[in-house]
Structures are given as structure tokens and as C-alpha cells.
């Protein structure tokens, strides 16, 4: 149910500082309607709303906001207020927000938490998003192996409120050093005699993660086991946290989004059009200015062949086609390598088989494209040699493009550079230079047949 | 633990038809090691493995395989064998596989299921992947409101095996027409007197989905409620299924992957390099040949200005730069629009505010890029007019590119075309034509100052 048109808008309620009205608006607005209105408030209005609400309500608003806006709003609040809201979030979301904030603002908020909690958030925030430690939550049920079914039921009853947001399908059974001994299915509790010790009910651990396990391995283990959650253990076998399958899936979504963004030149973080103009412009320009420099370098090849171009001006028509088509062929190979790496079926050391697979498809596609564009060149000018030079160059450059496109992401991964980000510019620059060289060099050699 | 080097490989075990050996290999191999070996078998070997194993084991192998290989393998099996394996999978995965198969092969498998089950799979497979119906499972616990706690416990006990893969955090309470009346937290069962009726324990439904609810709305509702699962109801309020939060997250990952693939020109489905060469080549060519045609159209603009080019050959050096940089600027705007649409904060009707936001950032970035490239042109040839023509054209074309890049995805979404797929070619063609026209048209007007 959306508020009626005659009702005051959220902006108006905020202007009046009407806490009751805001709370009522939030409880009457649902799903996307809420997201749209909240996301379109100004930064100041979002901060005012969070400061006005009770911490638990404010935390609910934060969970609905797109992450960049949530971070922006938290950074704008008094550290004390932000800390009270942060406490209401689950541990993985606390770590995500703190990890993405400016260091000084994050520290100011952490200082307002109690020492243990701050330490725990800091530890979680230090993990990468694509490590098991970065996906795990520290809210899980763990009971000592000597506890009885009755003890567990009493604990659940006493702490029902604290456990309200826990996933209670499984509980973990640990020894006195918090080393993991087994898993307890809560359903088994339903049917067990209340005097039973947990050690009799627990089932053995068949799979676990280390805190540094990479997302690709985490995904493979979830696929293999089909479990809803996997425990994360330190080297001594102590239970650090639990990765739930939807935390994995969310990390995968974030990775796929980031890959897309990077490949399209949105770098330095997600962009929403509600962000300040100078920030959007500066981030986009960082990418564009790198590319313009690389483009100028590639264009030097053309500049070196001015005389050939002057003699056969028709070549100028084909240079952008060669450049663009090689980019297209190469980007396809980049995408397949990115996918095979994220599935874990290709590793950086697999460059050679990748190269063979790409060259075979590149040969067919290069011949087809070369025939098409060479044919156009021949039909246009009636000069078969022009067709041969242009078509031959495109065929050869398609092979170059797929070879580079297939292997560069592997090499970049090995070098520790983000392949989604850097593959495009590396590919474009190299294939442009090579393509221009092939067309113009070829034309120079056959100049007497072309004029 | 990976098998030792001296142990036979999975391929060797398959060649011998050694069922026991294969089963042992599978139980000794874990995570990515399993994925890598399975994904690198030939299609025939994967089919042989699935046919050899017990259906339940074969289903576990299917869950580990990349989806294209799982589909390929199922299509290659005898329909009878494939049907027995299909029965072991959860309903959403059944529907995914059947929905992605060739129709004739899918029907052959469905005929081997019992009529009710086939009908249920068909119904689920008919939903789009980005609808609630396409994400829901039909394995959930539902009890009549007049049942007692003792009845439920007895049912859980009796059907423990059938429920083994169910998510049992929640059970649903329904009336005699399967209309949803409330939700039961299983933890509440732990503490309730066994004679209580469910109607006393159930908590009211505060959020539900329709089967046609779009993924963006589903995501907003999960964010808002923080629930682990949401019930899907038909128009009469009857319970059709349950969407769990990790099914949503998986659908979001799939959508983000598909967006990246489409933007890189991998169309007609995911590509793995293990697929047949002709299929990979044909799919990539479908995309490339569209692009080559569009490129030739754009190049016609250059061809129309041959005389100007002949007079000022330096212009040929800048045409690929203008083409590539406009593409870069436009793709950034495409990516931001795709993201804002998937968050639900921008709709196709928001083209005007998007346009304003893009033009403001485009003006700054266009001026910077124009100054850079115009400066290079001036420094190279010492002709300030060359700098003005080239730099001015790039500035103006950056505005064109961000305007097109920001709004075309919205328009394509409105037209029902996949914006991730079509935005790139539309953008490139229009910005190339416009950019070439601006440089060469501008140069023609100022020709006497350029030579």
C-alpha cells in the first residue's frame, strides 16, 4: 500500500522532523516504492532520517538503501549515532559498511562501540569480499558437546530475542577451546529425549572452509555439498563463523556486477547518478584519460604511414572498422576467459590450451569477417588488391585479438591486477596498433597495385 | 583429499565402466578439484558417467557441473535415465534444466515422469528466470491450521527422509483450499505444548510475492523484510511455492553474469571452451556480423568526406580516437543506467532526469578530453584550427555519447529488447556516425585554415 497522494511526502515529514510520521510512512510503504523514495532523497535528508529514527528502524532503512548511499549516509552521521545503528546490523553487513568507508570515519564509529565488538568488526572488515572470512557471519548457535537437549532448549527459550535473526537450521557443537566437534540439526532436537547429550546427536563435519578460502572454492564446496551453511575454521580447528549460501550468492552477484562495471569503465566504486557531479566526473575521467593516452599511442602507427594514406585515401575508411571489429572479437574472448576463471575451470597456468581454443575459433571468424570487409572494399573501389589488404589484415588481426583477449585476463590475474578492469584497454591498444600496422604496412608493400 | 597420482584417473575408470571406482573417485575428490576434472571430460564421458551412477549420485554430479555442460549431458542421455536423475533434483533446478533444453529433448524426458510431476515441472519451467515463479521451489512444509504440534512432530518424524533437503526454518499454515493463513517458526514448535493447535502458534503473513513478481521487486521485498524466504501466492491467496533468499541471490548473479556476457558480445547462451568449435564460432559470428554491418554503415560517413581527408590527411589519425573515446564515454553511461534500472531506482520513464545528469557529467568530461586530444593535434601539426576541429568534435561527441548511453538502455527496456545486448551496437554506430560527421564536417567548413 503506498501512501495516498494527499498524505505528506517523506521529504515533508523530514522537514518537520516528524518522527511519528516518518515511522508511519515507512511502515505503510513497501518494496520498490520505499527504495525509490529513499534513494531519491538528498544525502542530507537520508542522514536526517537515520538520525531521527530509532537505531533498529534506521538499520532497516540502511538495509534497503543501495550500498553507496548507505555508506554516504553513515559517514555523514555523528559517530555516536552511526555506532548505535551499526550495532543493529548483522556482522557481515557491519563489516561491509565499515570496510567501504573512509578510514578516519570508520575509526570514529568503531571507537563508539565496545572494545570487543569493535575488534570483531575490524577483524571481519579486514577480509576481502571474495574470501570466506568476508562472507561469514559471527552470529551462529554453538553449544558445548556436554550440554543436554534440555540445556539447549532452555538457552533457545531464554535468548529467543537475541537469536531472532539467527539462522537456526543448524547449531554447532564445540569443545572447551571452541574447536568444532560436530553439527546439530535443530530438527533432531525436536525428536530427541531431553536428557540426551549433544555429543550423541551431533553429526560429523564433512566440509568446512578456512577464512582465506577463495570465492571460487567456496562456491564449488557449496555446489558439492548442497548445504545451506558451511563453518569457517581457523588453523587450530576453532569455529570463526559461518558462511551461509545466500552470503555466497550475494558475493557472487557483487563480483559479477563489479566485473560488468569494470569492463564498461565504471571504476573506483559503484556510481549512482545521485552522487555529486564532481565525484562522478572525476572517477569516469580517471578511466577515460588512461584510454585517451593509449589511443594516442595506437594512433601513432597511423601517423607513421601518412604517405601511404595520402596515396590510398580509401584506407582511412577501413581503419575504424578494423579497430572496432578487433575489439569486438577480443572482448568475446575476454568474457569467456573471465567466466571460465570464475567457474574455476581455467587457471592462469592454462594459457596454452586457451590460446589453441581461441585461435581455432578466431581463424574461422577472422576468415568470415575478412571476406565480408574485404568484399566491401573490393566492390567499392573495384580493386581486388584493396580487398586483399583490408580483408587479410582483418583476418590476421582477428587472430591477434582473440589470442590477446583469451590470455590477457589470465596473465592479469597472475599479476594480481583486476582482469575485468585492465583487459579492455590492454586489448584495445594492442589490437589497434597491430591492426593499423597490418593494413597500412600491407598497403605500403602493395602500393603500386593500390593506386 | 585428491586421488594420488598413481590412482587411475576418472577417464580411465569410465573407460573400464568401473562403477565402484567412479563412486570412490567422486567421494575422495572435493570442491574445485572435482569441478575441474568433471568440466574437462568430453561430452561423451560426462554422459557415460551420469548413466553409470545411481540417479541420486548422478544428480549430485549435475549440481557441480557448469549449467551448459549439465544441459548438454542430460540431452545426451536416454530420456528414461535422464528422468530418473531429474527426479532427484529440487524443483527449481528441475525447471531450470528443462527450461533451457531443446523442446523435443525436454518433452521426451518429461514423458518419463509421472503425469503430476511432469505437469509441475512444465509449469515452473514456463516462468522467466527473473520472475518469482522462476525462482521458487515447491518443496516446503505446509500444515493444516487445525493440526496440533504433536501432529506436526509426528509428520516430521515419519517423513524425515523426504524432508531431508527442505529448508525447515519455517512451515506454512494453510486452510483446506491451500490458502495461506500464517507462518510457523519451527523453533516455536520446540517450546510449545504438544497439544496446541497451529492456529495458536502461527504468526501472520506480513509479506508475500505473486508468481509474476519481477526480480527487482522481489529483491526490494527481501531487503525490506530481511526474511530468509517469502511465500508465493496465486490470485486466490493459495500457496504456490517459496522463494528463498539464496534463490533470489542466485538469480541476481545469473542476471549480472548475463549482462556482462551480452555487453561483451557473448550471445545465444553462455560459452565454455569445451563446447563444439562450430557452435562457438557460429554464436560469436552472429554478433560480429551484425557489428561489421553497422561499422560499414558508420564508415560511409568517412567515405563521403574523402576529399577533405585527402586535403588534411592528419584527420585520419584522429578518427579511430574519436570513435573509441566516444564509445568509452557512452559505455560508462550505459553501465550506470543498467545498474540504476536493476536497483529499481530508475525506470524507462525517467529518461529526462537521466539525460540531464549525463549531459552535466558529459560536458565536463567532454571538455577535458577535447582539450587533451585537441592539444595533441595542435602540438603535432602546429595548426590551432586542427586542434579546434578535433577537440571540438570530441567534446560535442562526448555529450552525444553520454546522452545516448544513458537513455538507450531505458528505451530498449521499454521496447522489450535486452538493453545489455543491444545498447553497445546502437551506441557505437550512432556515436561513430556523429563523431565522424563532426570531425569531417567541421574540417570541411574550415578547410582553408587547415591546409
Is A271 in Cβ contact with B336 (below 8 Å)?
A: yes
Please write the tens of the pLDDT for every residue from A19-68: 999 999 998 888 888 988 999 899 999 999 999 999 999 999 999 999 99
Last residue of a domain, one of B236, B263, B290: B263
> DSSP letter string over A191-244?
HS-TT-BHHHH-B-----EETT-BHHHHHHHHHHH--SEEEEE-TTSBEEEEEE
- Closest by Cβ to B428, choosing from A291, A324, A372: A324
Query: In terms of domains, do B286 and B398 share one?
Result: yes
The size of chain A, in residues, is: 451
**Residue pair A202/A183 in contact by the 8 Å Cβ criterion:** yes
Say if residue A81 is in the same domain as residue A119.
yes
- CA B240 – CA B10 distance, rounded (Å): 42
Q: Do B296 and A321 touch (CB under 8 A)?
A: yes
Q: Which residues of A343-369 are buried (b: 16+ CB within 10 A; e: fewer)?
A: bbbbebebbeebbebbeebbbbbbebb
CA distance, residue A377 to nearest chain B CA (Å): 10
How many CB atoms sit inside 10 A of residue A378's CB? 17
Check whether residue B319 and residue B436 sit in a common domain: yes
| Closest listed residue to residue A203, CA positions, set A188, A230, A189, A182 | A182
Angle at the Cα of B63 from the Cα atoms of B86 and B51, rounded to 5 degrees? 55
Measure in Å the smallest separation between the Cα of B218 and chain A Cα atoms. Answer: 8
Specify the DSSP element, H or E, that contains A8.
Answer: none
Confidence bin at B167 (pLDDT 50/70/90) = low
d(C-alpha A106, C-alpha A98), whole Å: 5
- DSSP 3-state of A81: helix
Residue B4 lies in a domain: no
User: CB-CB: which of B249, B291, B358 is closest to A249?
Assistant: B249
Predicted confidence (pLDDT) per residue in B78-119, tens digit = 999 999 999 999 899 999 999 999 999 999 999 999 999 999
- Residues A134 and A116: their CA atoms lie apart, in Å, by 18
Q: Are residues A288 and A255 in the same domain?
A: no
Q: Are B332 and B402 in contact (CB under 8 A)?
A: yes
Question: DSSP label at B177?
Answer: T
DSSP, res B2: P
Q: Of the candidates A153, A264, A358, which has its C-beta nearest B331's C-beta?
A: A264
Is A291 within 8 Å of B324 when comparing Cβ atoms? Answer: yes
Please give the residue of chain B at the shortest CA–CA distance from A216: B32
* Residues of chain B found within 8 Å of residue A230, distances taken between Cβ atoms: none
Residue A5 within a domain:
no
Q: CATH code at B212? A: 3.10.580.10
Tell me the shortest Cα–Cα distance from A118 to chain B, in angstroms: 24
In a domain, B315, yes or no: yes
Give me the residue from B271, B315, B369 closest to A336, CB to CB.
B271
Nearest to B264 among A291, A313, A334 (CB): A334
Question: In chain A, which residue's Cα lies nearest the Cα of B303?
Answer: A317
In total, the C-beta contacts within 8 angstroms joining chain A to chain B are 355
The rounded distance, in Å, linking the Cα atoms of A39 and A317 is 46
Is residue A5's pLDDT more than 60? no
Residues in a beta bridge with A230: A243
* pLDDT value of residue A320: 96
User: Binning pLDDT at 50, 70 and 90, where does residue A3 land?
Assistant: very low
Q: Which residues pair with B171 in a beta bridge?
A: B184
The last residue of a domain, from among B91, B126, B161: B126
pLDDT digits (tens, 9 = 90+) for A236-260: 999 999 999 889 999 999 999 999 9
Same domain (yes/no): A110, A150 = no
Instruction: State the nearest Cα–Cα gap between B99 and chain A, in angstroms.
Output: 20
Of A220, A265, A436, nearest to B32 by CB-CB distance is: A220
Assign A80 a pLDDT band (cuts: 50, 70, 90): very high
| Same-domain status, B289 and B413 | yes
Q: Are residues B175 and B100 in the same domain?
A: no
Tell me the chain B residues in contact with residue A361 when contact means C-beta distances shorter than 8 Å.
277, 280-281, 284
CB B369 within 8 A of CB A296: no
With an 8 Å Cβ cutoff, are B217 and A334 in contact? no
Please report whether residue B133 resides in a domain. no
Q: Which three cell numbers stand for residue A275?
A: 552522487
Q: Is the ipTM of this complex over 0.90?
A: yes
B190–A189 CB contact, under 8 Å: yes
Q: For residue A334, which of A430, A213, A216 has the smallest C-alpha distance?
A: A430
Q: Is the dihedral of CA B153, B155, B160, B164 positive or negative?
A: negative
Quick one: A291 and A393 in the same domain? Answer: yes
Shortest Cα distance from B133 to chain A (angstroms)? 18
Give the model's confidence band at B194: pLDDT under 50 very low, under 70 low, under 90 confident, else very high. confident
Indicate yes or no: CB of A169 within 8 angstroms of CB of B165.
no
What residue numbers bound the domain in which B64 lies?
10-126
Domain containing residue B61: CATH number: 1.25.60.10
User: Quick check: A251 and B246 in contact, CB under 8 A?
Assistant: no
Instruction: Kindly state whether residues B118 and B223 are assigned to the same domain.
Output: no
B270 falls within a domain:
no
Average pLDDT rounded to a whole number, residues A106-132: 94
| Residues B206 and B286 reside in one and the same domain | no
The answer to whether B150 touches B201, Cβ cutoff 8 Å, is no
- On whether residue A3 sits in a domain, the answer given is no
Q: Do residues A25 and A83 share a domain?
A: yes
Tell me the DSSP string of A372-391. Answer: HHHHHHHHHH--HHHHHHHH
The Cα of A112 is separated from the nearest Cα of chain B by a number of Å equal to 26
Within a domain: B399: yes
Q: Is residue B1 part of a domain?
A: no
| Interface with chain B: mutation pick from A150, A273, A344, highest number of B CBs within 10 Å | A273
Number of domains in chain B: 3
Give the residue from B237, B263, B289 where a domain finishes.
Answer: B263
Split at pLDDT 50, 70, 90, the class of B385 is very high
Residues B112 and B169 in one domain: no
Query: Which tens digits make up the pLDDT trace of A373-386?
Result: 999 999 999 999 99
Amino acid at each position: 500500500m503506498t501512501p495516498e497522494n494527499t498524505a505528506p511526502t517523506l521529504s515533508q515529514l523530514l522537514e518537520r522532523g516528524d518522527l511519528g510520521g516518518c515511522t508511519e510512512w515507512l511502515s505503510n510503504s513497501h518494496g520498490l516504492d520505499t527504495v525509490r523514495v529513499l534513494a531519491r532523497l538528498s544525502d542530507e535528508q537520508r542522514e536526517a532520517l537515520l538520525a531521527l529514527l530509532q537505531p533498529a528502524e534506521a538499520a532497516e532503512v540502511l538495509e534497503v538503501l543501495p550500498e553507496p548511499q548507505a555508506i554516504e549516509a553513515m559517514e555523514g552521521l555523528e559517530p555516536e549515532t552511526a555506532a548505535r545503528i551499526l550495532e543493529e546490523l548483522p556482522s557481515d553487513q557491519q563489516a561491509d559498511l565499515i570496510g567501504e568507508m573512509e578510514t578516519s570515519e570508520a575509526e570514529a564509529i568503531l571507537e563508539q562501540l565496545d572494545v570487543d565488538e569493535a575488534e570483531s568488526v575490524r577483524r571481519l572488515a579486514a577480509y576481502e569480499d571474495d574470501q570466506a572470512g568476508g562472507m561469514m557471519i559471527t552470529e551462529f548457535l554453538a553449544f558445548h558437546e556436554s550440554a543436554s537437549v534440555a540445556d539447549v532448549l532452555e538457552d533457545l527459550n531464554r535468548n529467543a530475542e537475541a537469536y531472532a535473526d539467527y539462522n537456526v537450521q543448524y547449531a554447532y557443537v564445540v569443545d572447551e577451546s571452541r574447536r568444532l566437534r560436530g553439527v546439530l540439526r535443530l530438527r533432531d532436537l525436536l525428536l530427541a529425549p531431553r536428557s540426551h547429550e549433544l555429543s550423541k546427536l551431533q553429526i560429523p563435519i564433512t566440509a568446512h572452509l578456512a577464512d582465506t578460502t577463495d570465492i571460487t572454492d567456496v562456491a564449488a564446496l557449496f555446489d558439492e555439498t548442497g548445504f545451506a551453511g558451511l563453518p569457517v575454521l581457523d588453523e587450530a580447528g576453532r569455529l570463526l563463523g559461518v558462511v551461509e549460501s545466500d552470503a555466497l550468492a550475494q558475493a557472487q552477484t557483487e563480483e559479477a556486477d563489479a566485473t560488468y562495471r569494470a569492463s564498461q569503465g565504471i571504476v573506483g566504486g559503484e556510481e549512482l547518478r545521485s552522487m555529486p557531479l564532481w565525484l562522478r566526473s572525476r572517477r569516469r575521467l580517471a578511466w577515460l584519460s588512461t584510454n585517451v593516452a593509449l589511443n594516442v599511442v595506437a594512433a601513432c602507427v597511423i601517423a607513421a604511414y601518412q604517405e601511404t594514406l595520402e596515396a590510398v585515401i580509401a584506407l582511412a575508411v577501413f581503419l575504424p572498422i578494423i579497430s572496432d571489429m578487433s575489439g569486438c572479437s577480443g572482448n568475446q574472448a575476454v568474457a569467456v576467459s573471465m567466466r571460465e576463471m570464475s567457474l574455476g575451470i581455467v587457471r592462469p597456468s592454462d594459457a596454452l590450451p586457451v590460446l589453441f581454443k581461441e585461435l581455432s575459433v578466431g581463424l574461422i571468424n577472422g576468415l568470415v569477417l575478412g571476406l565480408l570487409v574485404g568484399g566491401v572494399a573490393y566492390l567499392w573501389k573495384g580493386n581486388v588488391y584493396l580487398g586483399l589488404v583490408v580483408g587479410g589484415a582483418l583476418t590476421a588481426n582477428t587472430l591477434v585479438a582473440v589470442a590477446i583477449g583469451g590470455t590477457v585476463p589470465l596473465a592479469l590475474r597472475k599479476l594480481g591486477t583486476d582482469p575485468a578492469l585492465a583487459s579492455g584497454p590492454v586489448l584495445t591498444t594492442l589490437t589497434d596498433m597491430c591492426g593499423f600496422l597490418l593494413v597500412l604496412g600491407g598497403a605500403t608493400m602493395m602500393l603500386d597495385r593500390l593506386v
